[in-house]
Amino acid sequence: MASQMQARTLRSTIGGLTAGLLVLGALAAASLFIGVADLTPARLADPATREAAMSTLMDSRLPRTMALLLSGSCLAIAGVIMQMLTRNRFVEPTTAGTTEAAGFGMLVMLLLFPGAPVVIKSLVAAGFACAGTAVFLRLLRAVPPGAPLLVPLTGIMFGGIVGSVTAFIAHRYGLMQSLGAWRNGDFSVVISGRYELLWLTLVLSVAAYLAADRFTIAGLGGDMSRNLGLDYGKTMAVGLVIVSLVSALVVTTVGSIPFLGLVVPNLVSLAAGDNLRRTLPWMAISGAAVVLVCDMVGRLIVAPYEIPAGTVFGVLGSAVFLYLLLGRSTRAA
Amino acid sequence: MIEIDGLTKSYGRRIVVDGVSLTIPRGGLTGIIGPNGAGKSTLLGLASRLLAADRGTVTVDGLDVARASGELLARRLSVLKQENRVAARLTVRDLVAFGRYPHSRGRLSSSEWAHVEKALAFLDLQPISGSFLDELSGGQRQRAYVAMVLSQDTDYMLFDEPLSSLDIRHAVSMMHLLRNASRSFGKAVVVVLHDINIAANFADRIIGMKDGRVAFHGDTADVMTGAFLSSIYDIPIRVHRLEGQYVTTYALPGGPEGGAGEDPVLVAGD
Ligand SMILES: Nc1ncnc2c1ncn2[C@@H]1O[C@H](COP(=O)(O)OP(=O)(O)O)[C@@H](O)[C@H]1O
Ligand SMILES: [Mg+2]
């Protein structure tokens, strides 16, 4: 009976995921054909215009769409991992100082080793992100349990301090423009050759999926984790590294998208719970879809100009964030 | 067998568990009783490696819990703490299935699922197995945690006040279940109990704690006496037998013997 039920849930899971992927595919296709340069399926088919159309597609549209898919999915996954590890619904890379610390790391590299390859810069930024998150986790020990909202507030304040220091230094050295780019997720800058590092986030997302059960168990708390024989410290460390790398890679290639890792996981969790083995694919699909939609809205409403996807999401996301804050703070602990 | 030797734990200058030595055999239910702050939870935490001892050792079938691999230990010994703050939104069935994690590392075969279904049935959870934990009452959630530990199916199971927030029907049925598990499957079940009547009627052995030490330890029939109970709780307590059950009475504030009424048969030692 149990196995029958398992088989049935498995079938409905696969059915649901297929539907989700189809919707995502449709969004991605739409995203490919929106923009200033004229790119339509017809122009791709017509031999006279094919070459120009192909180059628009391969050099700018495809990279942009891929960057949207990759960053949206990994940010949602990073968010839910942080929420499990801190057992708090309101923690994500931009409410824990992670993103700001990554930005600080980038600035340090720009000042000291401006010629270093982007990979190295990203790795160093990830190191800073890791250290910043570790400081945040250390600060959390002073937060009394039963005050869940103090946790993201602490993180936002800590991130604010790191961000101010970064801004101060950037201002002195005339690097405010770079700083702006990291702060606001903008996919208009994505062209072939400038985003490929983001593919590493796919590896990280897969790694997160493989460790999904561990993160769920960590979400049950340290004592239950130890009871189940989970190496709690190691799981925390692995999660921290994944989250830091994801934040650093996204910040350095397209810029941060505040609250994405908070809004998407909360909505998915409300609908489907927190068994990450089951929900992580949904996190990835929903995160990617939300970012795709925000980017398209930003391109359409002021065409031929653009509003960065991060800004569009900022408006939408803050509204949902407030709603979640008011609605869920009583239950989230 | 759980062997505890010279176990000591302090917080600051306060010694909370003070040189405790005990042997807990398999087969049978061991109850731990004692007043608030006696160190029961701390002792259980130390015995299950959730807390680190300052001094002393705990071995489970010869395995030192402080040094054994967490993975190996999780297949031999399980523990449920007094308070569990689970923030993850899991269904009851998912939570109970995680009890199999030490055995399956996440790949649940159909025989693994059978354990899960059995634990759900034992605790009367099948009607709510698809509900999320954060949508349950405290008692339902408590039963789900106990079911998770049961599905872990270890030879040693430690529970810290598992009856808190359970109604009397579920409390009694849980105690029956734990006692059956210990007797029929030769497990060692150790339960910290708040209610001395429940302890007396379900435990095969009772450990009485006070001020971080073991005040008495023995077969229930030998230690369920007014003298022993009064000595740890610091109020006069009398133990009676009524229809084959132990019943304890205690002095009411109004009079020295108030409330005891006409005594049924008194137990020796009182
Ligand atoms: N983490 C801790 N820090 C400081 N004191 C503690 C801590 N845990 C327990 N204690 C103290 O140790 C004593 C025993 O606690 P506990 O083992 O929980 O008692 P019991 O479970 O018997 O009621 C209490 O006085 C309690 O205040
Ligand atoms: Mg206690």
Q: Residues in chain B with pLDDT < 50?
A: 258-266, 268-270
Q: Which of residues 70-89 of A touch B (CB under 8 A)?
A: 84, 87-89
Residues 6 or more apart whose CB falls under 8 angstroms from that of A26 comprise: none
CA dihedral for B78, B79, B80, B86, sign (positive or negative): negative
Q: What is the pLDDT of residue A188?
A: 81
Residues 6 or more apart whose CB falls under 8 angstroms from that of A246 comprise: A74, A75, A77, A78, A93, A201, A204
Regarding whether B177 and B137 lie in a shared domain, the answer is no
Q: What is the pLDDT of residue B54?
A: 95
- Domain-terminating residue out of B109, B131, B153: B153
Are B176 and B10 in contact, with CB atoms under 8 Å apart? no
Does a structural domain hold residue B217?
yes
- CB of B38 closer than 6 angstroms to any ligand 1 atom: yes
Regarding whether B246 and B268 lie in a shared domain, the answer is yes
ipTM for the assembly: 0.87
How big is chain A by its Cα radius of gyration, in Å? 20
- Domain-terminating residue out of B138, B153, B168: B153
pLDDT digits (tens, 9 = 90+) for A64-111: 999 999 999 999 999 999 999 999 888 999 889 999 999 999 999 999
A53 falls in which pLDDT band (50, 70, 90)?
confident
Q: How many domains does chain A have?
A: 1
Q: How many CB pairs under 8 A join A and B?
A: 93
Within 8 A of A231 by CB-CB distance, chain B residues are 70-71
Partner-chain residue, chosen from A228, A231, A274, that has the shortest CB–CB distance to B88: A274
Within 8 A of B95 by CB-CB distance, chain A residues are 220
Q: Does B48 touch chain A (CB under 8 A)?
A: yes
Regarding whether B128 and B161 lie in a shared domain, the answer is no
- φ, ψ of residue B207 in degrees (nearest 5): -110, 125
The parent domain of residue A179 ranges over 62-331
- What count of other Cβ atoms lies within 10 Å of the Cβ of residue A67? 28
Does the distance separating the beta carbons of B75 and A274 come in below 8 Å? no
Q: Does B66 touch chain A (CB under 8 A)?
A: no
Q: How many domains does chain B have?
A: 2
The parent domain of residue B167 ranges over 1-76+154-270
Regarding whether B49 and B178 lie in a shared domain, the answer is yes
Report, as an integer, the average pLDDT of A182-198: 81
- What count of other Cβ atoms lies within 10 Å of the Cβ of residue A131? 17
pLDDT digits (tens, 9 = 90+) for A251-264: 888 888 988 999 99
**Could you give the angle at the alpha carbon of B197 between the alpha carbons of B193 and B202, nearest 5°?**
70
- Domain-terminating residue out of B153, B171, B197: B153
Interface test with A, best of B101, B129, B141 (most A CBs within 10 A): B101
Report, as an integer, the average pLDDT of A268-291: 94
- CB of B45 closer than 6 angstroms to any ligand 1 atom: no
User: Considering only CA atoms, which of B194, B187, B128 is closest in space to residue B156?
Assistant: B187
Q: Does A277 touch chain B (CB under 8 A)?
A: yes
Q: What is the pLDDT of residue A328?
A: 59
Nearest CA in chain B to A269: B89
Regarding whether B123 and B5 lie in a shared domain, the answer is no
Regarding whether B268 and B164 lie in a shared domain, the answer is yes
Query: What is the nearest CA distance from B156 to chain A, expressed in angstroms?
Result: 12
Q: What is the pLDDT of residue A61?
A: 87
Q: How far is CA B45 from the centre of its chain?
A: 11
Does a structural domain hold residue A239?
yes
Q: What is the pLDDT of residue B204?
A: 95
CATH of the domain at A122: 1.10.3470.10
**Cα–ligand 1 centroid distance for B190 (angstroms):** 19
